[in-house]
Amino acid sequence: MKVAIYPGSFDPVTNGHIDIISRAATLFDKVIVAVIRNPDKTPKFSLDDRVDMLKASLKKDRNVVVDSFDGLLVDYAKKKKANIIVRGLRAVSDFDYEFQMALTNRKMAPNIETIFFMTDYKYSYLSSSFVKQIAHFGGDVSELVPPAICQKLKIKI
């Protein structure tokens, strides 16, 4: 059974994330979308909100589950018996960080492989921070995030 973990802040989930999740779900038996409680970042949405927003956006995918975790990703992956980490790549600017993280995780857990999905061109510019900025200034984010998230953003920001 091929179990993959897609970790991220998802603050909030965007259509770019959804695209990666849908594509990963066609390749792996199970995809665990794992929301990070990252002590270095101050998210706009609470961990519970981020998990709920993902669940509301992913109702139809039967082999996708949403979870959250604390601590090292490789420890969480071992606990879940997953040996694949999924990440997305947009521009070159993502590369340095993703490269460093993939190699660090490989050093700690050589049996866990990180697999990168290239963004769809439609979402190559799209990030959670961009969505929050647009929402903050009253812009329309309906084409950038799932419908359930639009409403949440209006209330929160």
* Residue numbers annotated as active site: 17, 41, 90, 128
| Interaxial angle between packed helices 128-136 and 147-156, expressed in degrees from 0 to 180 and rounded to the nearest 10 | 50
d(CA 67, CA 73): 12
Q: Does 78 bind ligand ADP (CB under 6 A)?
A: no
119 binds ligand ADP (CB under 6 A): yes
The closest alpha carbon to 89, from 69, 109, 115, 112, belongs to: 115
CB of 126 to ligand ADP, least distance (A): 4
Residue from 5, 10, 53, 77 in contact with ligand ADP (CB under 6 A)? 10
Q: Measuring CA to CA, how many Å separate 67 from each of 41, 70, 84, 108? A: 19, 11, 16, 22
Residues 81-100 close enough to bind ligand ADP by CB under 6 A: 87-88, 90, 94
Give the integer Cα–Cα distance in Å for 103 and 74: 12
Binding residues among 137-156 for ligand ADP as defined by CB under 6 A: none
Residues 6+ apart with CB under 8 A from 1: 29, 30
**By the rule CB under 6 A, 123 interacts with ligand ADP:** yes
Q: Is 113 in the site for ligand ADP (CB under 6 A)?
A: no
What's the N-to-C CA distance of the chain in angstroms?
41
Candidate segments 26-34, 65-73, 123-131, 142-150, binder of ligand ADP by CB under 6 A: 123-131
Q: Which spans of this chain sit near ligand ADP (rule: CB under 6 A)?
A: 8-10, 14, 16-17, 20, 87-88, 90, 94, 119, 123, 126-128
